Amino acid sequence: MKWIPTLRLALLAFVLVQIVYFVMAWLVPQGATIAGVHMLMTPKWLEPDAVAVLAAGPLAVAMLANAPVVLLTAYAAWRLDALLRALQQGALFAASTIGHLRAFAGAALGAMVWSVLDTLLRGLAWRAIFGIEGHVRIGVSSEELLAMLVCLLFFLIAGLMHEGRRLAEENEGFV
């Protein structure tokens, strides 16, 4: 399992990119130019101009509605890192390894579902708290649905790992 350290570094880079994306999307809506490349990151369903004119209150509410996605993603990455460390140590079917896989799948699925719902929550909160009128949008892409399906597949794999562990323990009793 020589590839695990590289995968763990990629996982760290992924989390850092997610955090940078979150900060830039909400706090730097005009974008930034780095090494001659202009990067523009926007929250889902909002144009950069709409983010730039948000008052402090609606901006804070929007960031709070969106923050659980980043937090759940970071938690999922942390549990995936723990899973990778366990695999590196050879604990393929240990109960803790299976628990890490289930926690990763649950957090990743939670982040995906929340990312679909956060635009709805943001719009409803803006209407209720600040009286901001406008369309409340919600949308699910085929990529998001596929990612949710993959998370459910990880739950199936964890169940198979648990069953394999149970059968191995049962077979030890016969020897």
pLDDT, tens digit (0-9, with 9 covering 90-100), for 39-67 = 999 998 889 999 999 999 999 999 999 99
**In total, how many domains does the chain have?**
1
How many Cβ atoms sit within 10 Å of the Cβ of residue 169?
A: 10
Residue 89 has phi, psi (to 5 degrees) of -85, 0
Average pLDDT over residues 97-125: 95
Range of the domain at 76: 4-174
* Spatial distance between the Cα atoms of 158 and 163, rounded to a whole number of angstroms: 9
* Spatial distance between the Cα atoms of 38 and 46, rounded to a whole number of angstroms: 18
153-172 residue pLDDT tens: 999 999 999 998 888 888 88
Question: Per-residue confidence at 175, pLDDT binned at 50, 70, 90?
Answer: low
Residue 115 reports pLDDT greater than 90 = yes
The predicted model scores a pTM of 0.90
* Spatial distance between the Cα atoms of 96 and 67, rounded to a whole number of angstroms: 28
Question: Per-residue confidence at 133, pLDDT binned at 50, 70, 90?
Answer: confident
pLDDT at 174: 72
Q: Is the dihedral of CA 34, 37, 43, 48 positive or negative?
A: positive
Residue 131 is encoded by which pair of tokens? 């009286």
Residue 103 reports pLDDT greater than 70 = yes
Residue 45 is encoded by which pair of tokens? 């369903």
pLDDT at 113: 95
